[in-house]
Amino acid sequence: MRIRTAVLMFLLAAASRVFGGSVAVVEFRGAINQSSAAYLTRCISDAEKMKAECVVLELDTPGGMNDSMRDIVQKILASKIPVVVHVAPKGARSASAGLFIAMAADYVAMAAGTNMGAAHPVYMDGKLASEKITNDAAAYIRSLAGKRGKNAAWAEEAVRKSVSVTETEALKLGISDAVADDTASLLVKLDCKKFKLLSGTEVSINTKNASVVRLKMNTGEELSNSLQNPTIAYILFLIGIYGLIYELFSPGTILAGAAGSICVVLASISFLTLSVSAAGIILLVLAVALFVLEIKATAHGALAAGGVVSLFLGSLMLFSPMMPYFKISMTVVITMVMISTAFFAIIITIGIKALKNRVVIGIKSLVGASGEVKLAIDPIGIVFVNKEDWTAEASDGKPVGKGEKIRVVRVEGIKLIVERTGESAKEQ
């Protein structure tokens, strides 16, 4: 029995070496924020549950929020399996907060044409952080680099002086462990590597023939991540305003108002998360107010022109231009300003036409209509207008004989005020 068990264990071990286990690969592109932190930490937990050989975080990020970065770092340090950061694909980067995540990993690889570094902390308005915050960040990255046997001195320089390195420089300086252009070549380099986790556990991984399991964002994470995209938040805000204004001037559509309200609420949530500029928000609101006033006052385009300028400036000032991951491209700004201008131009045109056109329903629609006196007006009489009899009074107060042609000049309650047209009805 013991011999059979020993043989079975040997065969299982051999099969493991031949076929390998599984490797979880998590791809992330974009800024580090609350939603991306939730996604990455969830994926590490899932990789642990599936008992993967290791989890590979394939990163291409310009950086992001400090609190979100620390959540990811803490999850990596507490991981029960090795965590590998792969700066990929070619041309990718792992800057700012991305460098901290890389320094926390058990193993760092970079694809050709990638770079890493530039980790000086900055405020949300794009200004460099105070010395106190910089010192804290420098100590933090020294600690992470020291734990993983990386070049702590260079890591501190990346924080204090915003230096960056290419994939080859990182390898020479002891910042990364390998150059690998894709997942397949990375797994070959990782095969048989031994890691000592911070928990003290030593593991040896088999990745050469491992099956790759790619962990992706679920629907909720995709929605949350999209809402923390500055461009999407900006577009949602403007679309929401359009919907509300359309509902205001076309009451009863309901759908436009409901959709607009939802968009504005979602945009507001995003703005709170992204810490937008108060000046930018004020200018956007001012732009909307000027457009609405133009519709109401018909100022022949003067207010609308001010709205366009305010909208453009507010769009530029909404997010700091110094924060590459929290700004809107000029192409998007110009496009949305043009769409907004066209939208309000149409609304203003419709409003002006509505003011010029007379009412076509109800008693007031009779203004301007012609008719005939049925019962002499002196001072009150009966006229036949629009195939109906109406009580009428002459506008000049003078009597109007039966059969004379009249025209309605105004309406007072249910009484028509009429004037002679100088014609008489033909005798029947």
Q: Quick: pLDDT tens for 187-208.
A: 999 999 999 998 888 999 998 8
- 367 and 340 together in one domain: no
Question: Are 164 and 104 members of one domain?
Answer: yes
Element (H, E) at 297: helix 278-297
What DSSP letter does each residue of 91-111 carry, written as one string?
A: T-EEETHHHHHHHHSSEEEE-
Is residue 81 a contact partner of residue 54, using CB atoms and an 8 Å limit? yes
pLDDT at 102 over 90: yes
pLDDT at site 16? 44
* Bond prior to 251 in cis (omega within 30° of 0): no
**Judgement on whether residues 10 and 99 belong to the same structural domain of the protein:** yes
Q: Are residues 54 and 194 in the same domain?
A: yes
* 303 and 416 within one domain: no
Using pLDDT thresholds of 50, 70 and 90, give the confidence band for residue 421.
confident
Using 50, 70 and 90 to split pLDDT, how confident is the model at 73? very high
pLDDT single digits (tens) 216-271: 988 888 888 778 788 888 889 888 888 887 777 666 667 888 888 898 888 888 88
* pLDDT tens per residue, range 345-361: 776 666 656 555 555 55
Per-residue pLDDT for 50 more than 60?
yes
Counting residues of the chain whose pLDDT is more than 70, the rounded percentage is 83
pLDDT of residue 115: 95
Does 133 lie in the same domain as 36?
yes
The pLDDT score that the predictor gives to residue 357 is: 56
Domain total in the chain: 3
pLDDT, residue 12, reads 37
251 and 172 co-located in one domain: no
- pLDDT reading at 1 higher than 50: no
Domain shared by 150 and 169, yes or no: yes
- Phi and psi at residue 125, to the nearest 5°: -85, 5
Q: In this predicted structure, what is the pLDDT of residue 348? A: 64
Residues 103, 71 contacting (CB under 8 angstroms):
no
pLDDT value at residue 9 = 39
**Do 351 and 367 belong to one domain?**
no
Q: CATH number, domain at 213?
A: 3.90.226.10
- Indicate whether 167 and 315 sit together in one domain: no
Q: pTM (2 decimals)?
A: 0.68
DSSP string, 7-41: HHHHHHHHHHHHH--EEEEEEEES-B-HHHHHHHH
Percent of the chain with pLDDT over 90: 40
Which segment, 17-31, 142-156, 264-278, is predicted with the most confidence on average?
Answer: 142-156
Closest by CA to 70, choosing from 47, 26, 102, 100, is 100
- Among 356, 377, 407, the domain-final residue is 356
Query: Which of 221, 255, 272 is where one domain is finished?
Result: 221
Q: Is a pLDDT exceeding 80 seen at residue 76?
A: yes
What is the CATH number for 405?
Answer: 2.40.50.140
Secondary structure class of 64 (helix, strand, coil): strand
- For the chain, what is the mean pLDDT? 83
- Residue-range definition of the domain harbouring residue 138: 2-221
Residue 135 and residue 38 share a domain: yes
**What does the pLDDT average to over 174-187?**
94
Q: How many CB atoms lie within 10 A of CB 108?
A: 24
Length of the chain: 428
> Is 85 within 8 Å of 107 (Cβ atoms)?
yes
Check if the beta carbon of residue 72 is closer than 8 Å to that of residue 41: yes
**Interval 307-324 mean pLDDT:** 77
Domain boundary (221, 245, 265) is at 221
Residues 269 and 125 in one domain: no
Instruction: Give the pLDDT band of residue 17 (cuts 50, 70, 90).
Output: very low
Give the confidence band of 10 by pLDDT, cuts at 50, 70, 90: very low
Structure tokens at 29: 């592109």
DSSP sequence for 109-178: EE-TT-EEE----B-TTSPBPPHHHHHHHHHHHHHHHHHTT--HHHHHHHHHS--EEEHHHHHHHTS-SE
